[in-house]
Amino acid sequence: MGTTIKGSIGLFDSGLGGLTVLRELHRSLPARSYVYLGDSARTPYGTKGKETIVRYARECAGFLLEQEIGVLVVACNTASAAALSVLEAELPIPVVGTIEPAVRAALESTRTGTIGVVGTNSTVSSGVYEEALLRHDSHLTITSQACPLFVPLVEAGMVAGDIVDKFVEMYCAPLKERGVDTVILGCTHYPLLIQAIQTYLGPKVAVVECSRAIAQDVEDLVGKDGGQQTTPDTRYFVTDEVSKFNYLATAFLGEREVRAVRIETL
């Protein structure tokens, strides 16, 4: 596999979260080129309706297609939950979402079959994780929890401290009570909160970062050496002001050059 897939790997997210996926891809496929789009002018997605998210996902995908990508990674659980099947049906290139990779990682991890899922309002209310998990194993016990403030916290640069711990406790207490042995971080922003979440849940609970699972899926798809380019590079685009994105992106993930673009279609 992989040798037939040329072009860059395109990723989009509503904001910063997808950078956790890109970070994993940079590690596992360093010779590839990437195009990252953060739809920061309309972030967050997770509080919004399905129809709106599908529209935004189509616009993000359309912009990335113009950058001649060979694979699209929907590096956002909310967009994957709402729009993956639409994008798969409409796009002429392979599309990798967040749900299936995270589900497979959780199934490999769990011993008791008691799994927790945390995500945005939109992802959790869509029920996609339950559906995908139960399709693999109908005997699982799943507890899902929407965490609407996690994304605003991360986007405000708050990833540790008393208040973060309070939110982690508020959102993760139901998972602890149910005795989950594995928790899926069903949002690409949440790896930035993993220390607080892991500390609260304790060392016996496996915390599955979908970011890593997705990178593995992309590697399987394009092949470790597939499409190697002589000068791999990563281009970053955002829909809001560059400075707003750059400040936090740099704090989390180091220096990068970012350009602002407009992507709305009517």
Kindly list the catalytic residues: 76, 187
CB of 55 to a second copy, least distance (A): 8
Question: Can you give the chain as a three-state secondary structure string?
Answer: CCCCCCCEEEEEECCCCHHHHHHHHHHHCCCCCEEEEECCCCCCCCCCCHHHHHHHHHHHHHHHHHCCEEEEEECCHHHHHHHHHHHHHHCCCCEECCHHHHHHHHHHHCCCCEEEEEECHHHHHHCHHHHHHHHHCCCCEEEEEECCCHHHHHHCCCCCCHHHHHHHHHHHHHHHHCCCCEEEECCCCHHHHHHHHHHHHCCCCEEEEHHHHHHHHHHHHHCCCCCCCCCCCEEEEECCCHHHHHHHHHHHHCCCCEEECCCCCC
CB of 85 to a second copy, least distance (A): 19
Residues in binding contact with a second copy, number by CB under 8 A: 31
Q: Which of 68, 131, 137, 241 binds a second copy (CB under 8 A)?
A: 241
Q: Does residue 40 interact with a second copy by CB under 8 A?
A: yes
Q: Whose Cβ is closer to a second copy: residue 162's or residue 255's? A: 162
Q: Does residue 78 interact with a second copy by CB under 8 A?
A: no
Q: Whose Cβ is closer to a second copy: residue 32's or residue 244's? A: 244
CB of 43 to a second copy, least distance (A): 8
Q: Does residue 264 interact with a second copy by CB under 8 A?
A: yes
Site string for a second copy, 134-173 (x = CB under 8 A): --------------xx--xx-xx-x---xx--xx--x---
Q: Does residue 259 interact with a second copy by CB under 8 A?
A: no
CB of 266 to a second copy, least distance (A): 6
User: What distance in Å separates the CA atoms of residue 236 and residue 193, rounded to the nearest whole number?
Assistant: 23
Q: Which of 75, 244, 249, 258 binds a second copy (CB under 8 A)?
A: 244
**Interface ranges with a second copy (CB under 8 A):** 40-43, 47-52, 148-149, 152-153, 155-156, 158, 162-163, 166-167, 170, 239-241, 243-244, 262, 264-266
